[in-house]
Amino acid sequence: MVTSTGVAENSLVQVVTQARRDLLQVLSFVSLSPNDGLHAMEQNKELYQSLYGLVADIKESLDDDGTVSAFPNAPSGSRNKPHFQPPHASNRPSVGQPTIALDLLLHPVHPAVQHYPWGRQAPCLVSTMAGSADGTEPWAEAWYGIHPKAPSTVATVPLSDFTAAHPSLGRPTFLLKALSIAKPLSIQAHPDQELAATLHARRPDIYPDASHKPELMIAVKPTGLLCGFKTSAEIVALMDSLPAVRAALGACFAEYRQNPEVGLKQCLAHLFDHPETHEAAIAELVAVDGVAAFVHGFFGTDVGVIVAALLEHRTLQPGEAVFIPANELHCYLSGEGIEVMVSSDNVVRCGLTGKLIDTDTLLGMITGKHTGMAMVIPPPEGPFRSYKCLAPFQVLRVTLDDEFKEAAVGPTAGPLFILCLSGNVLVATPTGQSVAIQTSQCLFAGHELGLSGLTLSGAGDVFIVAGTQ
């Protein structure tokens, strides 16, 4: 055992100090752009691992004697570099582990990107979050989560593998996305929990998950969407002047006047079964309805053009949100936003898409009721805005500026993501680890941090998303 005095201790302290400096130099790569930083971490993985193991071993041997700490307080000027706690012996890297096994509370995460046809060209929100403006493909979605279709990554390791290798971190049951929308998505709904399990058992190739998918959409830029049916009075007033559209909806439109809920489902069933009526109905409709004219410009005589005219339309302003529960027909038209949902990719479509349309399933899901959009517009409470909805996740927006330069975030349930929408923010844990993040960068924090809370400081706009159980 090394004593607290003498040449042996001084030499060892010098080794510790130099190792610590080298380690911080390697770890500081995470403050680069996401692509460059993660690439640098991967290229220096062996040094990264060996330095951590060396310092941890030295610290353990010295701390037994209580004489020297291998991780003193961060030196002046290093505030913007991450400072980590050393790993427990059981968590050190070993052969066969799928990732760099570090006992950290904050882990830089890079999103998985989806280049769907409806996405925007760079630069846009999604390309910014991905840290790239390359290529001509549309940038549609950036995913943060462990869904098997497109898990995000820690360094080059899928987050799903990372959390499986470290069970104490917990596994996020929600999916965080950034969306950049240049043209309408499909008209769709998501099944409830019971139906999701049934559909998955029956057609796992089409419905890959056995769980529901309630979702919250928060506008970053003005975002147009359709959600839920208009009132029966609005639909009747529109159809009274459109004989070709009434013909497409069938004789059951008379029933709709008397019993809107039942009648609307019958009208839609007739519409889906008689494509020969669509062209004339759409030609009549687009002359008087702006939403129908807009989607017609992208999808021609798709039946979804008629369905779109039956749905309630709204443009979300930045900061406004809408909650979309199970079985609610909806369609995003344009804009950019942050979306949070249960980790599921179950989608039942009825129009405006080249993908599978499953109208039989969809007609069994919808009620035909006018429910009104479930708007979520939280008032500011200091630097916080809490987006509350009936879903198993919680979303907190933290805005730091000249008035509020620091914010303490209390305990949450389970693992969480910290996504920097803009600015430069320092994220600090109760254990002393801190990581500076800037526009587009995201951190994953495990279960332990969720229980203990964190502190944010700087100037920027940050979303914190966590579970509720």
DSSP string, 132-167: ---SSS-B-EEEES--TTS--EETTEEHHHHHHH-G
Is the predicted pLDDT of residue 359 greater than 80, yes or no?
yes
* Per-residue model confidence (pLDDT) at position 259: 86
pLDDT at 412: 80
Averaged pLDDT of the chain: 82
The token duo for 416 is 């969480």
The answer to whether residue 262 is domain-embedded is yes
Mean pLDDT of 16-39: 41
pLDDT of 237 higher than 50: yes
Mean pLDDT score, 129-147: 93
The mean pLDDT value for 213-242 works out to 97
Whether residue 45 has pLDDT greater than 70 = no
Domain end, chosen from 25, 47, 76, is at: 76
Residue 338 placed within a domain: yes
- Out of 7-16, 108-117, 386-395, 417-426, least confident range: 7-16
349/209 same-domain check: yes
C-alpha torsion angle, residues 9, 13, 15, 18 (rounded to 10): -170
Question: pTM for this structure?
Answer: 0.79
Q: Using the predicted structure, report yes or no on whether residue 71 has a pLDDT greater than 50.
A: no
233 and 364 share one domain:
yes
* β-bridge partners, 381: 384
Neighbours of 193 (CB within 10 A): 15
pLDDT at position 255: 87
- pLDDT at residue 344 is higher than 70: yes
Contacts of 159 (CB under 8 A, 6+ apart): 109, 145, 146, 151, 152, 153, 444
Tell whether 425 is covered by a domain: no
Residue 397: inside a domain, yes or no? Answer: no
pLDDT band at 37 (very low <50, low <70, confident <90, very high): very low
Q: Has residue 55 got a pLDDT over 90?
A: no
Please state the rounded mean pLDDT for residues 121-130.
Answer: 96
Q: Treating both helix axes as pointing N-terminal to C-terminal, what angle do 7-27 and 45-63 enclose, rounded to 10 degrees? A: 140
Confidence bin at 327 (pLDDT 50/70/90): very high
Residues 363, 225 within the same domain: yes
Domain that holds residue 12: 7-76
Indicate whether 201 and 68 sit together in one domain: no
Higher pLDDT, 136 or 164: 164
In a domain, 238, yes or no: yes
Q: Does the structure show a pLDDT above 80 at 366?
A: yes
More confident residue, 38 or 291: 291
| 71 & 206 share domain | no
Helix (H) or strand (E) segment spanning residue 434: strand 434-438
Residue 25 pLDDT level (bands cut at 50, 70, 90): very low
**448 belongs to a structural domain:** no
**Position 129 confidence tier, pLDDT thresholds 50, 70, 90:** very high
For the cut 70, the answer to whether the pLDDT of residue 69 exceeds it is no
What pLDDT score does 60 carry? 42
- Chain position carrying tokens 């046809």: 117
Do the domain assignments include residue 291? yes
Domains: count for the chain: 2
Residue 29 lies in a domain: yes
Average pLDDT for residues 299-328, to the nearest whole number? 98
> What's residue 242's pLDDT?
96
DSSP percent split of the chain into helix, strand, coil, nearest 5: 35, 30, 40
Task: Check which CATH number belongs to the domain holding 363 and give it.
Answer: 2.60.120
**What are the φ/ψ torsions at residue 444 (nearest 5 degrees)?**
-105, 135
Asked whether residue 218 falls in the same domain as residue 365, the answer is yes
In the listed set 76, 96, 114, which residue is the last one of a domain according to the structure?
76
Query: What's the rounded mean pLDDT across residues 20-45?
Result: 42
Inter-CA distances, 65 with 5, 10, 19, 20, 55, Å: 12, 15, 20, 20, 16
Rounded to an integer, the average pLDDT of 54-79 is 33
State how far the Cα of 145 lies from the Cα of 160, in Å rounded to an integer.
Answer: 8
Q: Is a pLDDT exceeding 60 seen at residue 291?
A: yes
Is pLDDT above 60 for 318? yes
Please report which confidence band the pLDDT of residue 448 belongs to, taking 50, 70 and 90 as the band edges.
Answer: confident
Domain check: are 221 and 365 in the same one?
yes
Can you point out the beta strands (E) in 197-318?
Answer: 215-229, 311-316
Show which of 318, 352, 377 is a domain's final residue.
377
| pLDDT tier at 410, thresholds 50, 70, 90 | confident
